[in-house]
Amino acid sequence: MNLATMDNLAVNHRCWLQRCSPLAKALFVLGALAFLLTTRSLTFLVGLMIFMVGLALTNRLALGVFLPLVLVPVFFASVFAISLRDWSVGLLVLGRAATAALTVVMVFMTTAPVRILGLISAPMPEVFGELMYFTYRSFFLLLESLNNTLAALRLRRGKERFSLSRVRAMAQVYGMTLVRAWDMAGRQYDLLRLRGLGQGLRISRDWHLRTWDLTLLAALICIGVGWYYA
């Protein structure tokens, strides 16, 4: 699961789904999940799964990033499905997990994070949206710092076998990362105090519908027709 690659695709990948508004995507996801959770038809589930894969292909999503994210919830759902000892219900659970993952991942890979954070933080005061934005960006800064430190440690120590000194070195690296996270949190809080909490919000709250939204809403209507007749 490469979150940095997902972030890059969500911002820079050019496709028709990226031109849709976050509001239309949210309605599409909620509607698709509602149809998904209220059906007991395996035929509808298979058809919906094929439909979502078709949407992903028409948007030229990177399957190397797309499919591993889908397989993670399917793996955990398979464990639960096996414990049910009923193949029909088990297939229904697997189908729901796979289709829900396809839908959510496809939307996340075609929507800029600032727009997603704008939707998530809509019921909250504006300052919480800004804090969420800073936290999201800090994750990538900490991840890059951790990767660079681990690479330097491997180059210095070579192919060392398991030992207490190696465990001590790894503990120091992760401890340094925690200290770095605490330091960044303090600096961000000071920055917010200097700027004024909630002033100059960086996240995007876009509630306007666009022309491409009609395509997405038409797709949701087709799903609803399939759910009704399945």
| Domain range annotation of the chain | 3-119+206-229, 124-195
- 56: CB partners within 8 A, 6+ apart: 63, 66, 102, 106
Q: What would the two tokens of residue 215 be?
A: 């395509």
Q: What would the two tokens of residue 44 be?
A: 């509808």
Which pLDDT belongs to residue 33? 92
Which residue blocks in the chain are alpha helix, DSSP H? 3-12, 22-37, 42-58, 63-84, 87-108, 113-120, 126-157, 164-195, 213-229
Q: Over 60: is that where the pLDDT of 196 sits?
A: no
This prediction's pTM:
0.69
Tell me the three state secondary structure of residue 209. coil
Alpha-carbon gap, residue 84 to 105, rounded angstroms:
27
Q: Over 80: is that where the pLDDT of 181 sits?
A: no
User: Among 42-51, 82-91, 105-114, 128-137, whose mean pLDDT is lowest?
Assistant: 128-137
Query: Other CB atoms closer than 10 Å to residue 158's CB: what's the count?
Result: 6
pLDDT class for 188, splitting at 50, 70, 90? low
Residues 29-75: pLDDT tens digits?
999 999 999 988 989 999 999 999 899 888 888 777 778 888 888 88
Q: Over 60: is that where the pLDDT of 212 sits?
A: yes
